[in-house]
Each structure stands twice: as structure tokens, then as C-alpha cells.
Structure 1
């Protein structure tokens, strides 16, 4: 199965924002967000489709608006 482009774009945006906000480690960020590191990895690679609740949780952990995670989606 081909990974949808919007999942890849979302994962790339999450990775970029995570790193820009000083979270070099997926593990440390996942702990901060209350999620599993493997789940963060799967989202960043476009292999998981996060729910709205998870998007809001990620945004709060990054101290950004949920829409900031979606800005690269067409």
C-alpha cells in the first residue's frame, strides 16, 4: 500500500516542528506528549493516521496551534 501524501506531509511537519522546538529525541518528545516513541516514529513516517485528539496533544506538547501541524497539507 502506498502511503498517502498528506500523511507524509503531516509527519514531515511534525518532525520539523519537533526539532525546531528543541526536541531532537523522539523518545523525550513522546514522553513529554504522553505518547509512545514508536507511535511518534510511525506518525513522522506517515505510517499512522493520528486522530484529532492526538493532533491536539502533539500541538500542546509543541506549544503551537493544531493548525500549525496541518499547514503543509494541500
Structure 2
């Protein structure tokens, strides 16, 4: 069975945007700071709407913020 790994560049984007805090990004996107922390640490995948709001804050394409990778399970039973 394959797994999907979603990664993001939010931390880097915050750094290059005047070192924006997690709280500032949370306020601009209408979520809690804890949600931003969870997304940055790949503990939570944002809704499509939230993903677009995050990309809009940074004024870049969605795929420049988020990416996913399919990991094939080579374990044959």
C-alpha cells in the first residue's frame, strides 16, 4: 500500500517574509497558531480552502507552498 507525504515550505516562507510569526500567519488565515504549528510540522494537513489562503498570504502558487510525495510500500507479504 502506498503512503502520501505532504510537505510544505511555510517556515521558510515566513522567514523570507519579514520573519512573520506563526501568530501573524494564523491571524491572516483565520486559524489558531496551534493549527499553523501542526501544519508546519506535518502533523495536520490543511483543508484545500486553508491551503489556498496560506498561499494567498505569501502571494505565490499553491504548489510553491505544498507538495506531496507518494511512497511505495515495497513490503510484499
The TM-score bracket by the shorter chain reads 0.7 to 0.9
More strand by share: 2
More helix by share: 1
Tell me the C-alpha RMSD between the 2 structures. 1.9
By relative contact order (CA 8 Å, sep 6+), the higher-ranking structure is: 2
Cα deviation digits, residues 25-72 of structure 1 (max 9, x gap): 10112112222110000000111011211110100111111121135x
Per the normalisation by structure 2, the TM-score is 0.71
Q: 5+ residue gaps in structure 1?
A: none
| Number of residue pairs aligned between Structure 1 and Structure 2 | 67
Higher Cα Rg, which structure: 2
Per the normalisation by structure 1, the TM-score is 0.74
Which ranges of 4 or more aligned residues in structure 1 deviate by more than 4 Å?
none
